[in-house]
Chain A
């Protein structure tokens, strides 16, 4: 199984709502990632988890709160978002970086988020 699944596929939320995005992989990967992609732009890294610990936060606003409850799951909790946060949110996973070996990242199809 080389698949990263993301739910929901689409999400519409108001600026006062609280919602969560979910990402799951069963490849035994120990690194997981959240990216944000605006229309016609490249993906931008938001967070990296390594062995269920947050290792990189690319200065993301606190209205985005990541969580890695176990090695297969990655959540992104959303609260008080702005319309400019509307984007495609991509999750990815890879084997860990121990030994400096390069590991390809496997991406999910993304969640299309619209903030009204």
Chain B
């Protein structure tokens, strides 16, 4: 499985944008970039995913570098409820595409 590298932790102020980086230099052409987050005492929840183009949904935006070796999850206005561990995951688009391999993730702390 291709690996991802994320900062261990980040801190943000409430109501400000947050940019969570992820490096995936060994990404293959069929790998999708997925982001999940895990709030305290809960199971992970899906945030967003993309292949090549930038993506937006109601939760966040995903900016993907042109060479696909890195991506950034953008929370436009962080709230206290966004404090969580954010996981950047590469999902194989082939036979084992339903397999999620979690890395260490980034702990996001949001200050009021």
Which A positions have Cβ atoms within 8 angstroms of B?
4, 31, 33, 42-45, 48, 50, 55-56, 90, 92, 94, 96-97, 100, 102-110
A-binding segment of B10-18, B40-48, B70-78? B40-48
A107: chain B residues at CB < 8 Å are 43-45
Provide a sorted-by-A list of 20 A–B residue pairs whose CB atoms are within 8 angstroms: A4-B43, A42-B87, A42-B105, A43-B44, A44-B102, A45-B101, A56-B99, A90-B43, A90-B44, A92-B44, A94-B98, A96-B98, A100-B93, A100-B94, A102-B32, A102-B34, A102-B49, A103-B98, A109-B41, A109-B43
The 4 closest A-B pairs by CB, nearest first: A107-B43, A42-B102, A104-B46, A97-B98
For residue B105, which residues in chain A have a CB less than 8 angstroms away from its CB?
A: 42
User: Which A residues touch B38, using CB under 8 A?
Assistant: 43
Contact B34 A106 (CB under 8 A): no
Q: Could you tell me the distance between the alpha carbons of A110 and B42 in the complex, rounded to whole angstroms?
A: 7
Residues of B near A45 (CB, < 8 A) are 99-101
- Closest residue of chain B to A90 (Cβ to Cβ) is B43
Question: Is B103 an interface position by the 8 A CB rule?
Answer: yes
List B residues 41-92 near A (Cβ within 8 Å): 41-46, 49, 85, 87, 91
Residue on B nearest A4 in the bound complex, by CB: B43
